């Protein structure tokens, strides 16, 4: 089976599936919307959320449906509702291993590694051809270990979260899947979000998840190369067409890895 291509832009916006009044607006604002059947929906509202999923069709090419965990009593009903829609891209909440991917034939999968088991299993999960992308989650990860906070008081991530972020990114890249950076929950801290999204783009993440429309443009701008970066990338790639092997460009050495970085910049600027 060919791995599905990650076709979404960099800003993915969560929306509770039981709020169809918000879903269309969310899709207008973001590159893709994640219709959430899990954490954003209370247990008593799960049935209403599934019905809203069926009754409020959106562009299936730009919708991801977050399912409840495989061990949850809600998963079977989630899949039954999904089968009544045109949506075929799903996010697997609290994915903890390849066994959680069984019974999902015909679907494009985004595995959310947000528990200790899930992060440690990221490499195996990413090796499954149906997996389009891996995403990591900080708060559920800390809770799964018995911790109380993923960040220091100044807003920086603790080592545990940084390790999980790096491990998920490497596992995805090693298997040809995309990686999605986690949400920034402090809605007033747009500068912090900008810094994290800029780091995510530079590190190789394909997208960052958002929890509020105000975060979308910040993320898009962070992933968009500057005019100076684009000019350099186009210039070095043009120079490479007339050079063989390693060469100098504007005072810097250029080899294969540098050319791949330039290609990535051009791709993000397209």
Find residue 179's DSSP bridge partners: 134
Write down the pLDDT at residue 244. 82
Confidence of residue 125 (pLDDT cuts 50, 70, 90): very high
Per-residue pLDDT band at 82 (split at 50, 70, 90): very high
0.85 exceeded by the pTM? yes
Which residues are known binding-site members? Answer: 66, 114, 140
% of the chain exceeding 70 in pLDDT: 99
pLDDT, mean of residues 179-185: 97
Residue pair 182/138 in contact by the 8 Å Cβ criterion: yes
Q: Are 52 and 30 in contact (CB under 8 A)?
A: no
pLDDT > 80? residue 269: no
Provide the annotated binding site for substrate: 66, 114
Q: Which of 103 and 260 is assigned the larger pLDDT? A: 103
Whole-number pLDDT of residue 190: 97
Instruction: Select from 156, 99, 157, 103 the least CA-distant residue to 90.
Output: 103
Mean pLDDT along residues 167-191: 97
Q: Residue 265 — pLDDT band, cuts 50, 70, 90?
A: confident
Where do the domains of the chain lie, and which CATH numbers do they carry? 11-223 (3.20.20.60), 227-269 (no CATH)
Q: What is the pLDDT of residue 6?
A: 95
Q: Is the pLDDT of residue 222 over 90?
A: yes
Q: What is the pLDDT of residue 225?
A: 86
Q: Residue 14's closest CA among 192, 218, 224, 215? A: 215
Q: Which helix (H) or strand (E) holds 28?
A: helix 20-29
pLDDT tens readout for residues 14-39: 999 999 999 999 999 999 999 999 99
Residue list for the binding site for Mg(2+): 114, 140
Mean pLDDT (the chain, rounded): 94
């Amino acid at each position: 089976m060919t791995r599905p291509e990650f076709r979404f832009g960099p800003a993915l916006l969560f929306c509770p599936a039981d709020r169809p009044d918000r879903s269309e607006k969310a899709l207008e604002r973001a590159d893709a919307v994640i219709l959430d059947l899990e954490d954003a929906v209370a247990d008593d509202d799960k049935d209403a959320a599934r019905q809203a999923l069926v009754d409020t069709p959106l562009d299936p090419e730009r919708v991801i449906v977050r399912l409840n965990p495989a061990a949850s009593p809600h998963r079977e009903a989630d899949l039954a509702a999904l089968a009544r829609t045109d949506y075929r891209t799903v996010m697997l909440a609290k994915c903890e291993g390849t066994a959680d991917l069984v019974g999902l034939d015909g679907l494009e999968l985004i595995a959310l590694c947000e528990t200790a088991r899930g992060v440690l299993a990221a490499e195996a999960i990413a090796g499954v051809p149906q997996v389009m992308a891996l995403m990591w989650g900080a708060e559920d990860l800390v809770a799964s270990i018995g911790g109380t906070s993923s960040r220091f008081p100044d807003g920086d991530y603790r080592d545990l979260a940084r390790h999980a972020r790096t491990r998920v990114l490497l596992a995805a890249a090693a298997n040809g899947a995309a990686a999605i950076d986690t949400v920034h929950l402090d809605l007033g801290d747009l500068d912090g979000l900008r810094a994290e999204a800029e780091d995510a783009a530079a590190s190789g993440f394909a997208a960052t998840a958002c929890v509020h429309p105000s975060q979308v443009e910040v993320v898009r701008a962070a992933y968009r190369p500057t005019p100076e970066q684009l000019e350099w990338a186009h210039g070095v790639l043009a120079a490479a067409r007339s050079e063989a092997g390693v060469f100098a460009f504007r005072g810097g050495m250029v080899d294969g890895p540098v050319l791949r970085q330039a290609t990535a910049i051009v791709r993000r600027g397209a």
